[in-house]
A and B are shown apart, each in its own frame.
Chain A
Amino acid sequence: MLELKNLCVNYGGIQALKDVSLTVKTGEVVCLIGANGAGKSTTLRAISRIIRPKSGSIIFNNTDVSRFEAAHVVRLGIAQSPEGRQVLSRQSVRDNLEMGAYVRNDNEINADIDLQFQRFPRLLERQNQLAGTLSGGEQQMLAIARALMSRPKLLLLDEPSLGLAPIIVKEIMGIIDTLRESGMTILLVEQNARLALQHADRGYVLEAGNLIFDGNAKDLLDDPRIKKAYLG
């Protein structure tokens, strides 16, 4: 479904990604793990065309993503829940969900909003509240629900567990499992390697802009080198 080939990204003179190649197949949950500053968010930003890579290609369902503007990538079927949630803080929870469906013109948007409320009952209670007044966990749920509102084929999740209480993290990982069971294709970025590998089919490990390991999630969890450096 998604294939990155020799992706290089620079910020000014600094090389953030060096020859990153990875694939995500339909129906897979793939996680991209690595320390802070490794280049995980940069990878997702490049896929969503928020930043322009220096070289390399991003192919999504046989389409070269680099032909499109950032705003068009969502129409191709790639939605992102960005790092730091980035909810529209001055709009209501419901309006945030509506904006998630910005690219759609069908008449099932309200039904889909109800679907998100079933998935995240806390959002239902707060649907008319300004998103900026939600707790961190609720904002994370909103960010995921909002991304789902575009009915994506590929869901990009950037650090959904960051800064959240363990019980909320469990709830959110449960949602990711449910999505996985329903056949959703997900690229999950996490600093919390153990957590990500426990919920993924495959994993890639990024270190200072280089992919250093990849493999089945179970194998990576048992790999002594990974245990030492990332699961400590």
Chain B
Amino acid sequence: MELGTFIQSLLNGLSIGSVYAIFALGYTLIFSILGIINFAHGAVFTLGAYFTYFLIGGVNNGTGVLTNLGLPFGLPFVLATLLGSLLAGGVGVILDRMAFRPLRARGADPLLALVLSLGLALLLVNLAQYLIGAEILSFPSNVYGDWLPPAINFGSTENPIPVRGVQIIIFTVSMFVVVILTLLINRTKIGKALRAVAENATTANLLGISTERFILFTFFLSGFLGGLAGTLVATSFSISGPYFGVTYGLKGLAVIVLGGLGDIPGAVVGGLVIGLAEAFVPGDFSAYKEAVAFALLFVILLVRPQGLLGRKVIQKV
């Protein structure tokens, strides 16, 4: 492989991989606290992108019941992204309050929560389809502002290695989020309490830590990360419709299984590994790119069933 192509694939892989990472962290957080996979996470990803799209003043050119409508105002993109992700976090909170918590209170089997989350995913997707429609919605190409060049040259004038500016932004933002989240979880009182709940809810209770509050916080954080990932990906491509998040939802699962279920650094490494693997798929096979994550998953799990960084025995609450 030529050096230029190599560097290009590397940067593109890191960029998409870093979004996979923050998206997958949303799964990981909930898994480590509740021992369930929230299949609605992919739908939250889609909603996050929609929220930001409308918050910057985007008009719905889909054919849903809200066709041709938009908000009467448009926020600056950074603010819209933040608010859109917060709203996605709010969706996470609502999902827990209305669906997961009642099940928990009845002491239902975690498998039921899993099935419920699948149902919620369908519900959210169908709701989006009804309200917005199935059409593609695109962010303006200069959504990050005119200061960001469409492509940045990582090579020389003779041997250009162009990488899209959006990719660099996505990588920077995602990695920043990973660092902040890691600090939050490892260094702050809230983070330590969250880990206490994840390790042993009863012990956490004995220390005065309210499990339910932290579960709610986890759903919020998870939704926020999902929504932010959705917005970032949508600015790089577009919102392909209500099913936008489905592929990412599945890939996110591959990421967390690959990294080790419930393991935070594992989700980051897993995301980057899958992003890179996809980026290095030769052009002739790019139609099969989506299968790469799962092929990789299959191979790695044969060698390391606990995932790349996972503990031998999965501990959960």
Contact between B205 and A99 (Cβ–Cβ < 8 Å)?
Answer: no
Could you tell me the distance between the alpha carbons of A88 and B209 in the complex, rounded to whole angstroms?
13
- Neighbour of B207 across the interface among A49, A69, A89, A102, CB < 8 A: A102
Contact between A71 and B192 (Cβ–Cβ < 8 Å)?
Answer: no
- Neighbour of A88 across the interface among B189, B195, B208, B210, CB < 8 A: B195
- Using known A-B contacts A89-B199, A102-B193, determine if residue A75 contacts B208 with beta carbons closer than 8 Å: yes
Q: Which residues of A contact B204 (CB under 8 A)?
A: 71
Max count, chain B CB within 10 A of own CB: residue among A71, A90, A98, A150 = A71
Contact between B206 and A70 (Cβ–Cβ < 8 Å)?
Answer: yes
Max count, chain A CB within 10 A of own CB: residue among B199, B200, B203, B208 = B208
Could you tell me the distance between the alpha carbons of A48 and B202 in the complex, rounded to whole angstroms?
10
User: Quick one: closest B residue to A156, CB to CB?
Assistant: B206
Q: Which residues of B contact A103 (CB under 8 A)?
A: 207-208
Could you tell me the distance between the alpha carbons of A99 and B211 in the complex, rounded to whole angstroms?
14
Question: Number of A interface residues, CB 8 Å?
Answer: 26
Does any Cβ of B come within 8 Å of A91's Cβ? yes
Q: Which residues of A contact B195 (CB under 8 A)?
A: 88, 90-91
Does any Cβ of B come within 8 Å of A55's Cβ? no
Q: Which residues of B contact A70 (CB under 8 A)?
A: 205-206
CB proximity of B205 to chain A, nearest CB, Å: 4
Contact between B199 and A99 (Cβ–Cβ < 8 Å)?
Answer: no
Contact between A71 and B193 (Cβ–Cβ < 8 Å)?
Answer: no
Contact between A69 and B189 (Cβ–Cβ < 8 Å)?
Answer: no
Interface residues on B, range: 10 to 19
Contact between A80 and B199 (Cβ–Cβ < 8 Å)?
Answer: no
Q: Which residues of A contact B205 (CB under 8 A)?
A: 48-50, 70-71
**Residues 209-224 of B contacting A (Cβ, < 8 Å):** 209-211
- Using known A-B contacts A71-B211, A86-B200, A89-B199, determine if residue A99 contacts B193 with beta carbons closer than 8 Å: yes
A residues neighboring B (CB under 8 Å)? 48-50, 69-75, 79-80, 82, 86, 88-91, 95, 98-100, 102-103, 146, 150
- List 6 tightest A-B contacts by C-beta distance, closest first: A74-B208, A103-B208, A71-B210, A70-B205, A86-B203, A102-B208
B residues neighboring A (CB under 8 Å)? 189, 192-193, 195-196, 199-200, 202-211
Q: Name 29 interchain pairs, CB-CB below 8 A, sorted by A.
A: A48-B206, A50-B205, A69-B210, A71-B208, A71-B209, A71-B210, A72-B210, A73-B208, A74-B206, A74-B207, A75-B208, A79-B206, A82-B203, A86-B200, A86-B203, A86-B206, A88-B200, A89-B199, A90-B195, A91-B195, A95-B192, A98-B189, A98-B192, A99-B209, A102-B189, A102-B208, A103-B208, A150-B207, A150-B208
